[in-house]
Amino acid sequence: MLRLNTSITPVPAAQQMNLGVLANDTAGFPNGRRPGDDVVDILLRVMMGALITDPAVAPNRTAPFTDQTTTSAADFRTTFPYLNTPLPGAGGN
């Protein structure tokens, strides 16, 4: 279930952080889901202990775990439909 805390003010696209709450952007993932949120990187880091403060429990908690793809709010439109039209020939046929 994805929950959205509507008491948190939305962040303009130019100021959004793609790591959401891990980057102190409380309007980002896991509080809802924006197209520019890098959910895979967020979850990788959380699963490896990014939220644990004791280095004895999670020695890799500060490692920049990533899937080597980057995304940001600037990659998407600011009005509906937010996702861009795919390029011709992109993807499988």
pLDDT in tens, 17-71: 999 999 999 999 988 888 899 999 999 999 988 888 888 888 888 888 888 888 8
Residue listed under structure tokens 């202990």 = 49
| Chain segment 49-61, per-residue pLDDT in tens | 888 888 888 888 8
Which 3-state string (H, E, C) describes the chain?
Answer: CCCCCCCCCCCCHHHCCCCHHHHCCCCCCCCCCCCCCCHHHHHHHHHCCCCCCCCCCCCCCCCCCCCCCCCCHHHCCCCCCCCCCCCCCCCCC
